[in-house]
Chain A
């Protein structure tokens, strides 16, 4: 990336527009759009099979959509961490980075300096001669993120970089990710952790290949219809279909009452991103039930 490009980084974005992907009869992505601005971290959240990896593979150039448009930098200026980490277990840490640097046409000296800096920041300096297959899960993920950002791409695509990683390593990974964004890189990552997504500048929530909610975490929370209550026991009747367990209590969504306060004696609570996304999924289920003639 040139200095000029970096200077303009704040105004530009890569992304997907009305992207559709099918695997046979299965719809993996249906009309999904996402903007990934430079200098920010964008999160794609959703459960298993929501379409997060498919969208990220499209953004990284590993998969072509059936329709819609993907706008991304050329391969030379894109970094990708696939769900499988893309690291060779039978190469050492430094050999993995050396291969990646050569693959992206980096000069040996620049690559070595940058690798040393990133490894130092990530606390992996002592592990440079260890086989990647012998690293702990967190160390391997940190190595994979370093490998994806080593050539200082304009767009970094990270597929669940923190899944299965301990809290300390997660913190280290987030430091690396935030550093890349601070340097002007557009970062998009998939995660199942909504507390991580709340840290990101914008969030796209996917459900069964469709966009469920999009915007900043605050915008998604603010757009949540109805109100949320915390109760000790699972409610009966229709309300049971709108209740889920969280932090030892039951969250109950009431679509007909508006959230007009910070909470009061009836257990009304202020929702967070996790609540808002869950409510959006419930609302979609209820709507689908009504469309198909059922009642929720």
Chain B
């Protein structure tokens, strides 16, 4: 047994990356996730419309934070504010009984808003009469309704990043990548040929998850399928690129899995899928803005639950496209290096491939 223990320690010591992950990562993850793990909603963004909007806005106490006051606007404007994700709650004044609209797709904010409204009703301020409260998009405040759109993204991350990283590194490990390098294939063709099958598999997975979510869990799909598809396409673009990047820095499938999980875990925990983004401590919240799932969550929830139009989703689309451009460019460059390792490492020296051979 002693021989086995010594052998294992020697192997682990040589695998620096695994060793670093075993020692550093638990501490890092605990700190990051410790700050991220919070369901507490400290503020609820509010839009107020109608003739008494100004008056009411100044009387709404914490945790409500009035973002927009529009005395000239009506209930439809308020609904659009919620639909476009500009506010989590809207108050429409003007009638004898104010109308409160709550965005049910923001589950924890909605629950916090209902609790805060109940407290206000007990104290009788600032609303003299009990408002009519309507929860939009997820009236039953069901967790599955907000989780399924996000889980679509997790499925895409799983297939896009983990499976792709394995596929490419397997080619490297088995020595077939060198064979590809000498074949008359363009690096771009090899890159695309490598990721297109995973792309299609991921698309099928996405369709299955969506169908099951809608049919079994009753998740609504209220928006435009094309907008959702475009978001999924961009998101897949990023995740597949991350998969190829991971494979390009991994020596074997074990390392690729480790790195892929490292990218999956923060995406699941920091992207707003489980914990509301606003509840995550500012010290670690910035990480969320570098994670593609953060933006896909916004798109999928926005389109599926609130029928958010693409004009309101331009920000996540732009950020996803930017991330995609950076990651895929990096992945293509790394892949090019893979297929022409000598040229990549040594610079301009290239074998002469003139059709006229030298004389013996």
Contact = CB atoms under 8 A, between A and B. Distances in A.
Contacts of A72: 351-353
A35 interface: yes
A70 B352 contact: yes
B179 A82 contact: yes
Given A62-B181, A63-B341, A104-B183, A70 B359 contact: no
Contacts of B357: 12-14, 38, 71, 73
Interface residues of B, number: 25
Interface string A61-91: 1111111011111111010101111111100
Interface stretch (B16-24, B71-79, B136-144, B170-178): B170-178
Interface string A93-132: 0000000100111000000000000000000000000000
B215 interface: no
A58 interface: yes
Contact of B182 (A14, A60, A105): A60
Interface stretch (B35-43, B217-225, B264-272, B342-350): B342-350
A121 B359 CA distance: 33
A105 B350 CA distance: 24
Nearest to A82: B178
A26 interface: no
Given A35-B360, A75-B184, A62 B349 contact: no
Contacts of B353: 61, 72-75
A103 B349 contact: no
Contacts, number: 93
B360 A11 contact: yes
A51 interface: no
A74 B360 contact: no
Interface in B196-252: none
Contact of B354 (A13, A15, A71, A84): A71
Interface in B164-195: 174-176, 178-179, 181-185
Interface string B273-308: 000000000000000000000000000000000000
Contacts of B352: 69-72
Contacts of A37: 360
A84 B343 CA distance: 21
B351 A70 contact: yes
B174 A89 contact: yes
B358 interface: yes
A13 B175 contact: no
Contacts of A35: 358, 360
Nearest to A67: B349
Interface residues of A, number: 41
Contact of A80 (B182, B342, B346): B182
Nearest to B360: A13
B174 A88 contact: yes
Contact of A84 (B176, B181, B342, B355): B176
Given A13-B360, A71-B357, A105 B351 contact: no
Contacts of B358: 12-15, 17, 35, 71
Interface in A7-59: 11-15, 17, 35, 37-38, 57-58
Contacts of A73: 353, 355, 357
Nearest to A40: B360
B253 to A, nearest CB: 13
B190 to A, nearest CB: 10
A151 B351 CA distance: 21
Nearest to A186: B357
B116 to A, nearest CB: 58
Contact of B185 (A57, A74, A103): A103
B360 A80 contact: no
Interface string A259-272: 00000000000000
Contacts of B183: 75, 100, 103-104
A100 B341 CA distance: 21
Interface in A220-278: none
Contact of A66 (B182, B349, B355): B349
Contacts of A17: 358
Nearest to A37: B360
A93 to B, nearest CB: 15
A74 B184 contact: yes
B176 A87 contact: yes
Contacts of B176: 84, 86-88
A41 B115 CA distance: 85
A76 B184 contact: yes
Contacts of B184: 74-76, 103-105
Interface of B: 174-176, 178-179, 181-185, 341-343, 346, 349-355, 357-360
Given A58-B351, A71-B354, 20 more contacts: A12-B360, A13-B357, A14-B357, A37-B360, A57-B178, A63-B341, A64-B349, A66-B349, A69-B351, A71-B352, A73-B353, A74-B184, A75-B353, A84-B175, A86-B176, A86-B179, A88-B174, A88-B176, A103-B184, A104-B184
18 contacts: A13-B358, A37-B360, A61-B351, A62-B182, A64-B350, A66-B349, A67-B349, A70-B352, A73-B357, A74-B355, A75-B182, A75-B183, A75-B184, A83-B175, A86-B178, A88-B174, A103-B184, A104-B183
The 3 closest A-B pairs by CB, nearest first: A84-B175, A86-B179, A64-B342
